[in-house]
Amino acid sequence: MRGTDARTSSRPAAVQDFPASEWFNNHFPQVRRRTGFEGGRASRATSSVCSERANGPSSRASALPLLRTRWPAGLLLVACLAADSSYGATESRDPWSNLLAQADTRGLPTRFLRVIEPGFVTLEFSDLRTFAAEYHPEDHRMVLNRALSFNAAGGRLKPLATLTPRDLSTLYHELFHAYLDYLTSRPDAAAADADSARLLAFARDQQQCRYRIVTITPVLQRKSVTEPRLLTDRESWEALNETWAVFVGWAIWTRLELLRGQGGSTLPRPSATENWLSRLKKADRDGEFIGYYEPEDPAERAMTHKRYLAPAHRISPREVALLLEVVLGEPAEQARRSSVVMEPNRPPAPGGVPCQQ
């Protein structure tokens, strides 16, 4: 999912994708999430990733409108079995373990990723001209911009140590989509992990009490003008999914920016720092943690591709506390300390059901 940055996709000119907030504009401008109802797609892959990696992208491959490379063994990192010094001692691991090992080395959160079974997510690279990434839950497929691949060859992800804070926030935004997709697709696996089961139950409750009846901003540049909406099951789940992923991406980006300012090599616990708390408080006050949904109604979709939630329906402190604990690995007390700097919980919309959790 992300100014002059009101950028147009390959859709008709009337369909625009706009960022949801100032932070979205400046730090997460090129991400979107596509959902299954958008219809079919043609799949064209390179015939030899290893050859392209060695010799550079061929003119034929570069000319393809959509270049996709599938990884049935797991998510990310190894395009072929040929050794590459960029990965050193980690290259003997399977792709998913390799990703987790690199994330651990950089101090990035991995516990929630370890719940996902290897092979669940398929990674593809594409010449995305407007967006940095997409996630397609209907077939558990993540599409990253080709620029994020090693040597821009479309074969495998760059080593995490070389990715910028913005790139890592994009990656974690999409990985969070994959995590929620896994929990809803594999309920037995979700139930087997206590934290995942707790998060999924909380998400379903919040979907009904906070994301079913919402207000939206029909024109993003006029945030004071809002309209009420009663969302469908799919729309409300997507609105929650996107809102939570926006926060996860922001948290990763902010952690890395704070770390860079300290000159460290691994991530500190950010909620122990006043800088983290002040940034979180400001982002909440500015309404930066806002998601969107894609309307199911064809008439509404003809007018706009996305509907962004109004600032009143930004993420709540309770949602932030649980995401910090379960997804980002914060101790419960530090997660609670972070959430209390935010404005109090917003009451449910008129006609909405009370939250149970």
Distance in angstroms (rounded) separating the CA atoms of residues 66 and 51: 19
Q: What is the pLDDT of residue 249?
A: 97
pTM to 2 decimals? Answer: 0.74
**How many other CB atoms are found less than 10 A from the CB of residue 289?**
27
Tens of pLDDT along 53-105? 333 443 333 323 323 344 444 443 433 333 344 444 444 457 788 899 999 99
DSSP at 162:
G
Strand partners, 142: 123, 135
DSSP letter for each residue of 30-73? TB----GGG--------S-HHHHHHH---HHHHH-SS-----TT
Q: Please report the sign of the dihedral spanned by the C-alpha atoms of residue 152, residue 155, residue 157, residue 159.
A: negative
Choose among 25, 44, 26, 32: nearest CA to 238.
Answer: 32
> Residues of the chain whose pLDDT is less than 50?
1-92, 265, 271-272
Q: What is the pLDDT of residue 147?
A: 86
For 210-240, letters b (16+ CB in 10 Å) and e give: bbbbbebbeebeebeebeebebeeebbbbbb
Strand partners, 135: 142
Choose among 20, 183, 161: nearest CA to 102.
Answer: 161
Tens of pLDDT along 101-118? 999 999 999 999 999 999
Q: Where are the domains positioned within the chain?
A: 1-18+193-357, 31-164
Q: What is the pLDDT of residue 354?
A: 79
**How many other CB atoms are found less than 10 A from the CB of residue 156?**
26
Instruction: Name, in order, each residue with C-beta under 8 angstroms of 345's C-beta and a sequence gap of 6 or more.
Output: 316, 317, 318
